[in-house]
Each structure stands twice: as C-alpha cells, then as structure tokens.
Amino acid sequence: MGKRLMVIGCGGVAGVAIHKCCQNSEVFEELILASRTKSKCDRLAEELTKVSKTKIITRQVDADDASQVEALIKETRPDAVLNLALPYQDLTIMDACLATGTDYIDTANYEPEDITDPAWKKRYEERCEKLGFSAYFDYSWQWDYEERFREAGLTALLGTGFDPGVTSVFAAYAKKHYFDRIDTIDILDCNGGDHGYPFATNFNPEINLREVSAPGSYMEDGKWIEVPAMSIHREYDFAGVGKKDMYLLHHEEIEALGRNMPEVKRIRFFMTFGQSYLTHMKCLENVGMLGTEAIDYEGHKIVPIQFLKALLPDPASLGPRTVGKTNIGCIFTGEKDGKQRSIYIYNVCDHQECYKEVGSQAISYTTGVPAMIGAMLVTQGIWKKPGVFTTDEFDPDPYMEALNKWGLPWQVEEDPTLVP
Ligand code: NDP
C-alpha cells in the first residue's frame, strides 16, 4: 500500500530525498513538504508533479516550535516524518512525533543552535568530562527518548544519511557476512569534487564548519581520545579519485558504533580536505568568523558563523559547477574462520551524474538517497521496531540492496591498503 511521508526542510539534502521519493512513487504515494520557506517546497512540487505520480502538498512550518509540527501532523496524518531540516530541530520534531503517534527519521544527531543555553551547557560540560569528547553534538539527547518511543510502539531511525547512515549499515553488513570478529573500523570520506570557488562548503556551512573546526577524536578500547583539530593527517589513494590528504575528525557514528559494537577495538573517521580549504578555514577561525556566540555590532546581534553562511555560496548552487567523484566507505579488519581479514566497502559517486539526475551535487545526493531508503524501510515496516535506533541496529541486507537499486552501488575490496 502506498505511503504518505512528511518531509521537513527543503534544502540541498531534502531536494534529493524528495526527487528520490518521487521516483519511488509506488511506495511514496503522497508527500507533504513542509519547511520554513514554503516557496522552496512549492517550486519543487511544481517541478516534480509534472514527472511523478506522487501527490505533493506543501506547507509552511517553523520546526523549532513542536506545537506547529504537531498541528501539521494532525492535519495531514503522515505515516512518518523525515526530518531534513537542521540538527537544531531534532528534539522538537521528535516531541511532535511522540505526541501524534508518528514514526521519526533523520540524518544528523541533535546539536543546539544556542550553545550558551545554561541548561544545555551544564549537561554538555558533564558529558565532556565523563566521556572525553567535546563536540557540540552527541546521541545522548535522542537516546533519552528511547523509553518513550518504545512505550508508544514507535520507531525513531537516527542518522540515515551517508555518514552517518550508510557507513553504519556497512558495519552491520561486514559483521553479518564477512567477520566473526571486527577489530578496527576506519571510516573514510573522500570528496574529490572541484566546484571552482576558492572556498565553499558542500552542505549547510554552519553545520559543516562547526564540525570540521572542532577537535578530532576517535575511540580506542571503549574510550574516547581527543586530539587538536586536523592534527592527525594521512594520505590515501582512493579508487575513482586518486591520492588525497585526509584528516581525523570526530564523527557521530563513532559514538553509536562504539556503543553497539563494543568488541571493536578502534574506530576512527577521516575526511579529505584540500590545502586551500584548510587555509581559508584557519584564517576565518583566526579572525573570529567561525564564532557561534552572538556579538553586538552597531546595536545588532550577529552570530559570526551565521553571517559567514550568508556570504558563502549556497551549497545547493554548487551542483552545475562541481566535477569529480566522491569515494566514501569503511575499512574493516578482524577475523573470519580463524584467519585475519580486511575489506573496504565503499561507494563511488560522480558529481555531474548526480546533477544530471536530480539537479544536485554528490554530497547532497549521497545523503538524500539514504534518507529516502531509511524512510522507505520504516514506512514499509521492514525496519520497524519500537524504540530509538541508529542504522547499524537493523538487518543491513534490504538497505544494501536498496543502495544498489536507488543510485549508490557499493563494492567490496578484499585486502585494501590499510590506514596507518
Ligand atoms: P540546508 O541548509 O540546505 O537545508 C536545511 C533546510 O531546513 C532549509 O530548507 C531550511 O529552511 C530548513 N529549516 C531550517 N530551520 C528550520 C525550521 N526551524 N523550521 C523548518 N525548516 C527549517 O541543509 P542541508 O540540506 O545541507 O542539510 C540537511 C540536514 O542533513 C542537516 O541536518 C545536515 O546536518 C544533514 N546532513 C547529513 C549528512 C549525513 O551524511 N548524515 C551529510 C550532510 C548533511 P530555509 O530554506 O528557510 O533556510
């Protein structure tokens, strides 16, 4: 039976997910597109209703206000809500889903917009002290909803983008089919794309710059080890892309995999960056433009990183200009049938192919496709159980099959070059 999905947010990632839902109109019979700026939803609805059987309605919503989301869910009665707004709205949307008995899906874990909020800060400082990593985002806020979702018989699927999302499905798949025991996981995110601008970010600049300018961290023997930003550097030769410099970052799937696969001895995450990107970022940081707290400028309150976002190219505008490929995946080492084994499971995605298909570059594409797949599996009851889960906590096989079908085919390389 066809499903009705509400998508909140209408930016780069949502644009791809909505295209993909419309290609999959047998499952997604109806979409409710709701965002802060309704005109973006209207434009997409006009374009897609010409080429898809999926019925689309559009609404304005401020998802910072749970009661607005709740009222909209009551009015339109979706089978699930796919949150593709910002991590700032995760909790309000989860509240609205609980209040209305609706399943919840997102691609990024909760992070507060206002990091000066005393209640948040107190808990944040306790967590930094207790766990040993200082990123502004962590799963604890959403894992706190576990009991309420379980008791209500609802599913919350957290982080179904590429990383997190597909990378954790790769981990579950490796565990199920390739290893008796996984010892290490290295998640590699390589973007070999070139957009021709001196400096731009591939997804929301505020969220992206917050993430990459923060200290790096990884997990070893169940404990977090934090290091200064960009202080661990490696070079890797990526299939389809070539040699790239990559740097160790903190990333949210390390936390979930560390909890759900405690037998893994070390989990790290690396992302590639060119020298020009790093030099621009360091300079912006040095002059205070990455600041997340409001300053007073001639009587106006301005948050530097939000002002910077207004100056930078809109990630959605990079599609036509970006050429090259991404290669994202996980290297696993461990044991099978008493023998040491290592594999790299990865996807290569071409920026221009994505643009031709859905009008967007590969970063939004590699996130939007898994968002559609997560929503499809939850609404079809294939990934449905009461509680709050990340993507490594379900059977990976239907998800892996869907990746091949919906535009993100993956490969398994035996004996890959390992990262020192
Ligand atoms: P964009 O900034 O392009 O889009 C965000 C959208 O959310 C915009 O349409 C924006 O509205 C809307 N929005 C913001 N605040 C509100 C609000 N209060 N109420 C309703 N709508 C709101 O971001 P991206 O598409 O790049 O990213 C979307 C999400 O995907 C983020 O959470 C990001 O962290 C995540 N992501 C996950 C990845 C993964 O691999 N797991 C990778 C990349 C991104 P408006 O148009 O008015 O600005």
pLDDT in the model for residue 213: 85
pLDDT in the model for residue 209: 85
Mean per-residue pLDDT over the chain, rounded? 96
Domains of the chain: 166-353 (3.30.360.10)
* pLDDT above 90: residue 366: yes
Ligand 1 pocket residue status of 64, Cβ below 6 Å: yes
pLDDT per position as a tens digit, 16-68 = 999 999 999 999 999 999 999 999 999 999 999 999 999 999 999 999 999 99
What residue type is assigned to position 38 of the chain?
Answer: K
pLDDT in the model for residue 206: 81
Ligand 1 pocket residue status of 63, Cβ below 6 Å: yes
The residue to mutate among 35, 167, 255, 366, having the most atoms of ligand 1 within 8 angstroms of its beta carbon, is 35
What residue type is assigned to position 194 of the chain?
Answer: D
Ligand 1 pocket residue status of 85, Cβ below 6 Å: yes
CA torsion through residues 65, 66, 71, 73, sign: positive
Contacts of 138 (CB under 8 A, 6+ apart): 109, 110, 127, 131, 252, 255
pLDDT in the model for residue 108: 96
At 227, is the secondary structure helix, strand, or coil? Answer: strand
Ligand 1 pocket residue status of 191, Cβ below 6 Å: no
* pLDDT above 90: residue 315: no
* pLDDT above 90: residue 1: no
In whole angstroms, what is the distance from residue 207 CA to residue 135 CA?
12
What residue type is assigned to position 182 of the chain?
Answer: I
* Stretch 163-187: mean pLDDT: 98
**Ligand 1 centroid vs 35 CA: distance in angstroms?**
10
Ligand 1 pocket residue status of 89, Cβ below 6 Å: yes
Contact 268, 251 (CB under 8 A): no
In whole angstroms, what is the distance from residue 417 CA to residue 415 CA?
7
**Ligand 1 centroid vs 85 CA: distance in angstroms?**
4
Ligand 1 pocket residue status of 165, Cβ below 6 Å: yes
Ligand 1 pocket residue status of 254, Cβ below 6 Å: no
pLDDT per position as a tens digit, 213-235 = 889 999 999 999 999 999 999 99
At 119, is the secondary structure helix, strand, or coil? Answer: helix
**Ligand 1 centroid vs 266 CA: distance in angstroms?**
31
Ligand 1 pocket residue status of 204, Cβ below 6 Å: yes
**Ligand 1 centroid vs 8 CA: distance in angstroms?**
9
pLDDT in the model for residue 317: 86
In whole angstroms, what is the distance from residue 166 CA to residue 399 CA?
8
pLDDT in the model for residue 211: 81
* Stretch 395-407: mean pLDDT: 98
**Ligand 1 centroid vs 203 CA: distance in angstroms?**
8
Contacts of 410 (CB under 8 A, 6+ apart): 170, 329, 345, 346, 347, 400, 403, 404
Ligand 1 pocket residue status of 40, Cβ below 6 Å: yes
Nearest CA to ligand 1 atom 14: 85
In whole angstroms, what is the distance from residue 174 CA to residue 222 CA?
20
